[in-house]
């Protein structure tokens, strides 16, 4: 069977069947349109239908092709990692704006997953020295693969249950985190892609704020006197998270909105000195 025929009536969205086939053939989607007569081998044909079936069963496209673009970087992702979301790019924008000078900065990223945030920051910024941690060894393995693929030298990936393995003598210019923040009874957890992502990456407990609160209350012990804490949170958690920053004594607290106009990232500094 050729490319043109196989793409007809796959039972899923046409662009998704194209993504799957292009991934199997290791070509881009444009190639499929310029080479409609290209015949598939039996192996390619079998792989295509296995993957189409997976998609019909609801498995996220990123897990099927084991790839997701974040900050224009193709990252390996598997069922052991969260699929990086476009709204998380807001964290990168805010941090690059704040740390735009070409000085040596030390960052700690908690809950790195596939390594998306740290890799986006480290790539092209050799002046950043990043420690990135996660509680999932399986996710850390994927993060290290992504690091090696892009020959990134300025990230150290380590296992840690939040701050447990971070020495309190280490002090950072910024602590950055996209933690699990969905309340455990939220119906979205049993819908769409979320059904297939690691529960530990999605929910910290009953209120959804458990991890955020813990990080806010402990981050200061690991920040320089001029250091900053940056947290992604749920679209409806902005006010509460800003309140937690305030109660914990942070200064210069701000919440920024994502492209869908949802409050998405809140940050604050240990000091009230403008930097």
Ligand X SMILES: C[S@@+](CC[C@H](N)C(=O)[O-])C[C@H]1O[C@@H](n2cnc3c(N)ncnc32)[C@H](O)[C@@H]1O
Residues of this chain that interact with ligand X (CB under 6 A) are 82, 84, 88, 110-114, 116-117, 134-136, 139, 161-162, 178-180, 200-201
CB of 253 to ligand X, least distance (A): 22
Measured from the CB atom, is 180 or 227 closer to ligand X? 180
As measured in angstroms, the least distance from the Cβ of 263 to ligand X is: 17
Specify the residue, 23 or 114, whose C-beta has the smaller distance to ligand X. Answer: 114
Closer to ligand X by CB, 141 or 271: give it: 141
Q: Which is nearer to ligand X, 163 or 228 (CB)?
A: 163
Closest approach, Cβ 24 to ligand X, in A, equals 25
Cα 231 to Cα 179, 212, 264, distances in angstroms: 8, 8, 8
Give the residue at shortest CB distance from ligand X: 113
Choose between 71 and 99: whose C-beta lies nearer to ligand X. Answer: 71
- Rounded to the nearest whole angstrom, what is the least distance from the CB of residue 38 to ligand X in the complex? 35
Secondary structure of the chain in HEC code, one letter for each residue: CEHHHHCCCCCCCHHHHHHHHHHHHCCCHHHHHHCCCCECCHHHHHHHHHHHHHHHCCCCHHHHHCCEEECCEEECCCCCCCCCCHHHHHHHHHHHHHCCCCCCEEEEEECCCCCHHHHHHHCCCCCEEEEEEECCHHHHHHHHHHHHHCCCCCEEEEECCCCCCCCCCCCEEEEEECCCCCECCCHHHHCHHHHHCCHHHHCCECCCCHHHHHHHHHHHHHEEEEEEEEEECCCCCHHHHHHHHHHCCCEEEEEEECCCCCEEEEEEECCCCCC
CB of 273 to ligand X, least distance (A): 29
Task: Output the smallest distance, CB 58 to ligand X, in A.
Answer: 20
Q: CB-wise, 221 or 226, nearer to ligand X?
A: 221
């Amino acid at each position: 069977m050729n490319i043109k025929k196989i793409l007809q009536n796959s039972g899923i969205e046409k662009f998704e069947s194209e993504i799957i086939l292009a991934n199997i053939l290791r070509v881009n989607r444009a190639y499929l349109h310029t080479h409609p007569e290209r015949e598939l081998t039996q192996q390619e044909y079998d792989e295509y239908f296995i993957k189409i079936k997976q998609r019909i069963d609801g498995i996220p496209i990123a897990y099927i092709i084991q790839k997701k673009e974040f900050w224009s970087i193709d990252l390996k992702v598997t069922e052991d990692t969260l699929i990086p979301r476009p709204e998380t790019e807001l964290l990168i924008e805010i941090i690059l704006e704040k740390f735009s000078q070409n000085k040596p900065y030390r960052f700690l990223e908690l809950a790195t997953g596939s390594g998306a945030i740290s890799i986006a920051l480290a790539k092209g910024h050799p002046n950043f020295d990043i420690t990135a941690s996660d509680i999932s060894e399986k996710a850390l393995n994927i993060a290290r693969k992504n690091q090696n693929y892009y020959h990134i030298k300025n990230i150290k990936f380590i296992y840690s249950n939040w701050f447990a393995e971070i020495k309190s003598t280490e002090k950072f210019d910024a602590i950055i985190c996209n933690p699990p923040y969905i309340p455990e009874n939220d119906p979205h957890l049993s819908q769409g892609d979320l059904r297939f992502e690691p529960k530990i990456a999605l929910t910290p407990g009953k209120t959804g704020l458990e991890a955020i609160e813990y990080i806010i209350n402990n981050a200061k012990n690991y920040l320089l006197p001029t250091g900053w804490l940056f947290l992604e949170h749920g679209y409806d958690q902005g006010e509460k998270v800003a309140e937690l920053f305030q109660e914990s004594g942070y200064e210069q607290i701000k919440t920024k909105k994502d492209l869908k106009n949802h409050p998405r990232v809140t940050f604050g500094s240990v000091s009230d000195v403008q930097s």
